């Protein structure tokens, strides 16, 4: 009974952070409900608690989202078999490309699957087996076992007491230390010093698995922060949502994020809406200076310098809308269309394999409808960057000139197809700027089927872009340096 009470109290805190008002009497009702219903039938528990703790349709929607995130951890902790479609990583499964294998738990599940595939290829290269507790877990354990250990370590270090976003790194390190990071590091050091081929191979496997685990733990801590942090004040909430990975945002946060995007766009509009003149000191404009100083009998009191206008950029935005990056694409398109006053010449394109222009779609529909139709029409294919570049070359390349900035948002994962990077080189030579925004960390850009090493030389700028803060910085620089 005490376990049920503590679980309900934690869950009520999560609901209150999500702006669901829960009274002490309703909390007691929820405890009685959970005691009667139990934890075996997850769907029945969700429905029962929703009747006790949520009242309006809006609150029920937020309640279901909170329930999915909170009690999925509880499922993993009790090692119960989840119901179909209700497991811990259901959101992550829905966010992956349809052609890729199902990822594991955590925000970096796809990366873990690719790393695991690489490790399987080299499995026969080493007869050694890991000896450290964490090493055995990473190489011999299943993804669910890794997640369970992560959750147990999180409970031990009290990750639910995280207060500010800047503590994410601290709790990530605490959890990994609790899981046995020091023993793993000592083992890797010994294997490297051993000098044998088997030792080096095993050390390489362990290091790759450690980095994959670190990303998974960071995502877990980030989600725990969104669940448990005491968000006092709207300003603090906005700041943390700007920094959170877009892939980790929950449906209940989308309305807040849209408001933040509009606010950030208005800020950029106020800064960049006028065609300001940039003065080059040292280049005197003789005609303007003489004309302006005629009233002073030719004495040069008021000097005029040569200047040129900062013109509005011509932008083409190409977004990969396949499952793994659909959230990032959604917010980039939202951001650019919120800046229509500053960037009136935006042409937007979407693809999974075949490229299609969606500019008119956004002009004729509301933002929500346009997003939904774009994901429906272009978000279901198998990712093929080579085909996208072929389509761009045949239909769009003729419109690219020295004033065009091209923004590509995608993870460059091509399912081992032909990347056709030579076409991107043609685009690079014709355009003013080619900017590639990749939502994955730089350490993942060359792993598995990622083609960033081939695409990067044909880009003027490559950036990691997986949060609203990153998007704001990229778009601001685009407006600032456009000529």
What average pLDDT does this structure show over 127-150?
Answer: 84
pLDDT tens for 419-433 read 999 999 999 999 988
Predicted local confidence at residue 391, as pLDDT: 92
* High-pLDDT (> 70) share of the chain, %: 71
Q: Is a pLDDT exceeding 50 seen at residue 104?
A: no
For the ranges 1-5, 446-450, 474-478, the maximum mean pLDDT occurs at: 446-450
- pLDDT at 25 exceeding the cut of 70: yes
Q: For residue 14, is pLDDT > 60?
A: yes
Q: State the pLDDT at residue 336.
A: 62
For residue range 394-415, what is the model confidence (pLDDT) as tens digits? 999 998 988 888 889 888 888 8
Give the pLDDT of residue 109. 45
Q: Nearest 5°: phi and psi at 278?
A: -105, 115
Pair (166, 261) in one structural domain: no
User: What pLDDT, on the 0 to 100 scale, is given for residue 455?
Assistant: 94
- Clarify whether residues 300 and 349 are in a common domain: no
Contact 412, 450 (CB under 8 A): yes
Nearest to 258 by CA among 272, 243, 273, 238: 238
Inside any domain, residue 385: yes
CATH number at residue 332: 3.40.50.410
pLDDT at 434: 92
How far apart (Å, rounded) are the C-alpha atoms in residues 12 and 23? 9
Predicted confidence (pLDDT) at residue 78 exceeds the cutoff of 80 = no
Under a CB-based contact definition with an 8 Å cutoff, are residues 239 and 201 in contact?
Answer: no
Q: Which residues pair with 436 in a beta bridge?
A: 408, 462
**Which comes out higher in pLDDT, residue 3 or 150?**
150
**pLDDT above 90: percentage of residues in the chain:** 8
* Better-predicted residue by pLDDT, 1 or 233: 1
> Considering only 129-133, 147-151, 219-223, 341-345, which range has the smallest mean pLDDT?
341-345
Confidence tier at 69 by pLDDT (50, 70, 90): confident
Q: Please tell me which residue, 195 or 199, carries the higher pLDDT value.
A: 199
pLDDT tens readout for residues 322-378:
876 776 777 767 766 666 555 667 788 888 878 888 888 877 887 778 878 888 888
The pLDDT assigned to 452 comes to 92
Considering the domain boundaries, does residue 242 fall inside one? no
**Whether residue 382 is found in the same domain as residue 409:** yes
Q: What is the pLDDT of residue 93?
A: 33
State how far Cα 464 lies from the chain centre. 10
Domain count, the chain: 4
What does the radius of gyration of the chain's CA atoms come to, in whole angstroms?
27
Same domain? 281 vs 269: no
pLDDT at site 245: 73
**Is 366 part of any domain?**
yes
Residue where one domain finishes, among candidates 78, 112, 129: 78
Residue 266: pLDDT band by 50, 70, 90 thresholds?
A: low
Q: Give the predicted TM-score (pTM) of the model.
A: 0.48
Same-domain status, 214 and 123: yes
89 lies in some domain: no
Q: Side-chain half-sphere of 478: how many Cα atoms within 13 Å?
A: 33
User: Looking at the domain assignment, is residue 83 inside a domain?
Assistant: no
Q: What is the mean pLDDT of residues 196-200?
A: 85
pLDDT-derived band at 110 (thresholds 50, 70, 90) equals very low
* DSSP secondary structure letters along 66-107: HHHHHHHHHHHHHTPPPPTT-STTHHHHHTS-TTSPPP-SST
In terms of Cα–Cα distance, which of 175, 191, 197 is closest to 125?
A: 197
pLDDT attached to residue 130: 86
Mean pLDDT of 86-115: 39
Between CA 11 and CA 475 the distance in angstroms is 39
Based on the fold, state whether residues 320 and 436 are members of the same structural domain.
Answer: yes
Domain boundary among 60, 78, 96: 78
Tokens 């000896």 sit at which residue?
131
Q: Using 50, 70 and 90 to split pLDDT, how confident is the model at 380? A: low
Contact between residue 475 and residue 446 where contact means Cβ atoms under 8 Å apart: no
Q: Please, which pLDDT band fits residue 479 given cuts at 50, 70 and 90?
A: low
Q: What is the domain range of residue 130?
A: 104-230
In terms of pLDDT, which residue wins out, 91 or 129? 129
Q: How many CA atoms lie within 13 A of 394 on its CB side?
A: 9
Q: Residue 250: pLDDT band by 50, 70, 90 thresholds?
A: low
Stretch 307-316: mean pLDDT, rounded? Answer: 65
Minimum mean pLDDT range among 105-109, 241-245, 284-288, 352-356: 105-109
Is 344 found in the same domain as 461?
Answer: yes
Q: Is residue 73 included in any domain, yes or no?
A: yes
Which of 191-205, 271-285, 406-420, 436-450 is the least confident region?
271-285
Pairwise CA distance, residues 27 & 33, whole Å: 10
Residue 440 resides in a domain: yes
Residue 93 makes CB contacts below 8 A (sequence gap 6+) with: 102, 103
Indicate the range of 19-28, 55-64, 472-481 predicted with least confidence.
472-481
In this structure, are 267 and 383 located in the same domain?
Answer: yes
Cα separation, 466 vs 334, whole angstroms = 14
**Residue 164 lies inside a defined structural domain of this protein:** yes
Residue where one domain finishes, among candidates 27, 61, 78: 78
Q: Does one domain contain both 129 and 196? A: yes
The pLDDT value recorded for residue 200 is 86
Q: Is the dihedral of CA 176, 182, 183, 185 positive or negative?
A: positive
Quote the pLDDT of residue 63: 86
Indicate if 387 and 266 belong to the same structural domain. yes
DSSP 344-409: TTEEEEEESSSEEE-HHHHHHS-HHHHHHHHHHHHSSSPP-HHHHHHHHHHHTGGG--TTEEEEEE
**What are the b/e assignments for 86-97, b being 16+ CB within 10 Å?**
ebbbebbbebbb
179 closest CA partner among 212, 216, 225, 137:
137
**pLDDT range class, residue 285, cuts 50, 70, 90:** confident
What are φ and ψ of residue 361, in 5° steps? -60, -40
Q: Are residues 24 and 41 in the same domain?
A: yes
Q: Are residues 384 and 315 in the same domain?
A: yes
CA 272 vs. chain centroid, Å, equals 27
End-to-end CA distance of the chain: 68
């Amino acid at each position: 009974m005490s376990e049920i009470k503590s679980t309900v109290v934690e869950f009520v805190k999560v609901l209150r952070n999500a702006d669901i008002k829960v009274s002490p009497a309703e909390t007691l009702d929820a405890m009685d409900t959970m005691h009667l219903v139990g934890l075996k039938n997850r769907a029945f528990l969700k429905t029962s608690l929703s009747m006790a703790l949520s009242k309006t349709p809006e609150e029920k929607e937020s309640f279901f989202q909170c329930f999915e995130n909170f009690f999925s951890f509880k499922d993993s902790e009790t090692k119960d078999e989840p119901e179909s479609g209700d497991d811990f990583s259901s959101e992550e499964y829905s966010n992956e490309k349809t052609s890729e294998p199902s990822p594991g738990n955590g925000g970096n599940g796809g990366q873990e699957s690719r790393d695991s595939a690489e490790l399987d290829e080299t499995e026969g290269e080493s007869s050694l087996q890991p000896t450290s507790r964490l090493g055995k877990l990473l190489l011999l354990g299943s993804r669910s076992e890794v997640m369970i250990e992560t959750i147990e370590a999180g409970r031990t270090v009290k990750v639910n007491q995280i207060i500010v976003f800047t503590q994410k790194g601290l709790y990530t390190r605490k959890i990994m230390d609790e899981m046995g990071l020091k023993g793993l590091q000592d083992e890797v050091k010994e294997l490297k010093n051993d000098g044998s081929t088997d030792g080096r191979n095993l050390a390489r496997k362990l290091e790759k698995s450690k980095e994959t685990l670190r990303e998974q733990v960071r995502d877990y801590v980030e989600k725990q922060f969104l669940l448990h942090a005491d968000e006092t004040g709207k300003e603090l909430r906005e700041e943390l949502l700007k920094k959170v990975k877009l892939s980790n945002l929950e449906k209940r946060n989308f309305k807040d994020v849209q408001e933040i995007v509009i606010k950030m766009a208005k800020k950029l509009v106020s800064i960049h809406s006028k065609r300001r003149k940039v003065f080059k000191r040292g280049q005197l404009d003789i005609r303007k200076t003489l004309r302006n100083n005629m009233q002073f009998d030719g004495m040069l009191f008021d000097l005029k310098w040569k200047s040129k206008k900062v013109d509005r950029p011509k932008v083409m935005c190409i977004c990969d809308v396949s499952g793994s990056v659909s959230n990032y694409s959604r917010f980039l398109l939202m951001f650019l269309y919120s800046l229509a006053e500053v960037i009136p010449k935006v042409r937007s394109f979407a693809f999974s394999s075949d490229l299609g222009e969606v500019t008119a779609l956004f002009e004729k529909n509301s933002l929500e409808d346009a997003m939904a139709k774009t994901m429906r029409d272009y978000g279901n294919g198998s990712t093929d960057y080579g085909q996208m570049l072929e389509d761009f070359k045949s239909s769009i390349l003729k419109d690219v000139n020295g004033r065009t900035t091209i923004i590509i948002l995608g993870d460059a994962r091509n399912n081992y197809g032909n990347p056709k990077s030579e076409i991107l080189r043609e685009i690079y030579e014709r355009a003013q700027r080619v900017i590639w925004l990749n939502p994955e960390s730089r350490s993942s850009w060359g792993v598995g089927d990622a083609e960033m090493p081939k695409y990067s030389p044909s880009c003027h700028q490559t950036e990691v872009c997986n949060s609203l803060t990153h998007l704001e910085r990229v778009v601001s620089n685009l407006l600032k340096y456009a000529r």
